[in-house]
Amino acid sequence: MTQDPNKAIYESRPWLKWYMEGVPADIEIEEKSVVESFDEATERWKDKTALIFYGRKMSFRELRDHVDRFATALYDLGIRKGDTVALLLLNSPQFIIAYMGALKAGATVTAISPVYVSPEIKYQLEDSKARAIVCLDILYDNVERSGAKLDAVILTGIGEYLPSLKKFLGSSVLRAVYQQMAAPPVELFEREGVYRFQDLIKKYNPDPPKVDFNIREDLVTLPYTGGTTGQPKGAMINHYNFAAARELTNRWFGDIVQPGKEVVIAYLPFYHIYGQSVLMMGGLAEGYTQVLLTTPNPDDILDAIENHKATLFFSVPSLYEFLRDYERTSRVNWKRMKFLISAADALLEDTSKGWEKRTGAKIHEGWGMTETSAPGMVTPLNRIKPGSFGVPLPNTVGAIVDPESTQFLPVGEVGELLFKGPNVIKGYWNKPEATQEMWVDIDGETWLRTGDLASMDEEGYFYFYDRKRDMIKYKGLQVFAREVEEVIAAHPQVKEAGVVGVPDSSVGEKVKAIIVLESEARGRVSEEEIQKYCAERLAHYKVPKIVEFRGEVPKTDIGKVSRRELREE
């Protein structure tokens, strides 16, 4: 059988020539559980600082002690291998202690977004079959109102690991963020099955159970994602997936990154796979010092970078966009850092160029999904191509196919991105139909359907255009929402923009732009001016037919414009 010449191009991995010297095309993934990696790291770097939480330092030795105590407590409360423990926590030592403690007890973790309301919490708790929850006290009211049945509720306060002078400040700041929320009444702790986090840490000795893991089958976590379609689904990430994600990323950066010597700012939420896999898991296994921040306050982030001499910075486009024009950004010596990474959304070229002009530092892009355990592709170090999110990591392959026929497309053409590698999950929790939809079999090989529309150039660099579900069809023509957003965002008076299709019987969908203007431009820029600006830079059918100005646009929990919410409106 003659091989498809287009498929052969992707399988030949043309991107390999841009790998740094010493980075292999393929590596052997060590068959090691997350728990084993954690124990080895905490033993190797036991006297090193693992966490810094608003001035409170915790060594790897102390972290291991608290994890082991919490694992012992969970086991005594009846948590066994195969059970699910939910976390409703902000970034804090408690998140890491509860996460690793649950794994050591043999459980699977499912982390819930702190901004979820009761129906969303109820769905995730019940769908994941969670038996216990570790919850921030001021967030518990939403759990109570959800009515979900749990065997154990473990409550913790954000101040428990803060330096004494900051305990009150920490609680007051959080209440300002999570308005009208207060710690539950003391009577709650008289209920059966309700516990205080610190009581368990103090009560139990560090004597966790010995659990044998099948790293290719046993699950570490169930992060919930919209996936490519439908309601949220639990992505089944096992120990092997995380081992692969960590190994591939580590080898990619070669000798630039030194185990036990790096300092990272962990402001990205741990309940999201980006923060959980790349920062929390990577930091723990490699002996990094993680400076934990509960909320993405720009001043806190900049202070932490300077005060703790951060060496690596992982962030998202929305923060780079904000910091690019922020007065205090210049106080940080960004060129001193080993690298800056942007992921979880497309980085606008305008942002990237403006950032480099302002700071003298380059931003490297990355691409990944919950279904790839976070990492998938990264820009080769010091070989950035504008608009590209990089090339596949070792052991992985990306390819572009026609979304309808799954025929491999030639270099340069836009289609659906397929992906395969050891970091790709096996499927969705209790969702066999959704699992079947995420895969496509071509010539006996199984690929992940990412739902991303992308292209690959002749050098093997990949470029993102849009989510398949966000593509707008106007009179049969394709309009990429991201392309229109990028043009509008470059307007000097525009702060941010979201673009969606609005159903229209005569043309299929009309292009609608929802725009937030800079404060000084509000009331001074008209819909017609935006349309004229777009008409000078876009084909006529891509120009927004509807322009709406707002004070803000809805965002996802990692700061990108939520087109889903805009469509649902």
Count of domains forming the chain: 2
End position of a domain, from candidates 186, 213, 240: 213
CB 395 within 8 A of CB 424: no
Phi and psi at residue 395, to the nearest 5°: 70, 0
Q: By three-state DSSP, how is residue 88 classified?
A: strand
- Is residue 388 one of the residues assigned to a domain? no
* pLDDT value of position 170: 60
The residue type at 219: L
* Closest by Cα among 564, 566, 507 to 541: 507
- Is residue 265 one of the residues assigned to a domain? no
CB 90 within 8 A of CB 99: no
Give 212: exposed, middle or buried? Use CB within 10 Å, 0-12, 13-18, 19+.
exposed
- The full 3-state SS of 181-216, as one line of letters, equals CCCCCHHHHHCCCEEEHHHHHHHCCCCCCCCCCCCC
- Is residue 494 one of the residues assigned to a domain? yes
The Cα 408–Cα 424 span in angstroms is 20
Task: Provide the token pair at 559.
Answer: 């700061």
For 299, residues 6+ apart whose C-beta sits below 8 A from its C-beta are 328
CB 406 within 8 A of CB 363: no
As a residue count, the chain comes to: 569
The Cα 233–Cα 235 span in angstroms is 6
For 147, residues 6+ apart whose C-beta sits below 8 A from its C-beta are 118, 122
* Residue-wise pLDDT tens digits, 196-245: 999 999 999 999 999 999 999 999 999 999 744 457 899 999 999 999 99
- Is residue 65 one of the residues assigned to a domain? yes
Phi and psi at residue 318, to the nearest 5°: -60, -35
* pLDDT value of position 228: 45
* pLDDT value of position 227: 47
Residue 501, CA distances (Å) to 225, 560, 562 in order: 23, 18, 13
| Residue 516: CB atoms within 10 Å | 17
Residue 376, CA distances (Å) to 215, 244, 390, 554 in order: 20, 11, 9, 27
CB 356 within 8 A of CB 341: no
Residue 127, CA distances (Å) to 84, 86, 121 in order: 10, 11, 10
* pLDDT value of position 172: 59
Residue with tokens 């993934």: 29
- Is residue 533 one of the residues assigned to a domain? yes
Would you list the DSSP string of 245-310? Answer: HHHHHHHHHGGGS-TTT-EEEE-S-TTSHIIIIIIIIHHHHHT-EEEE-SS--HHHHHHHHHHTT-
pLDDT along the chain (569 residues), means of 10: 84 96 94 97 98 96 98 98 97 98 98 92 97 96 96 95 70 59 82 96 98 97 75 94 96 93 97 96 97 94 97 95 94 95 90 95 96 96 92 98 93 97 97 94 94 97 92 88 92 94 90 95 94 95 96 84 86
* Residue-wise pLDDT tens digits, 346-355: 898 889 999 9
Domain harbouring 479, CATH code:
3.30.300.30
Q: By three-state DSSP, how is residue 527 classified?
A: helix
- Is residue 331 one of the residues assigned to a domain? no
Domain harbouring 121, CATH code:
3.40.50.980
Domain range holding 537?
471-568
- Is residue 301 one of the residues assigned to a domain? no
- Is residue 431 one of the residues assigned to a domain? no
CB 6 within 8 A of CB 409: yes
* pLDDT value of position 215: 97
Residue 255, CA distances (Å) to 68, 258, 336, 363 in order: 32, 6, 17, 19
The Cα 83–Cα 72 span in angstroms is 15
End position of a domain, from candidates 213, 239, 260: 213
CB 133 within 8 A of CB 86: yes
End position of a domain, from candidates 182, 213, 244: 213
Task: Provide the token pair at 130.
Answer: 């969670």
* pLDDT value of position 568: 83
* pLDDT value of position 410: 97
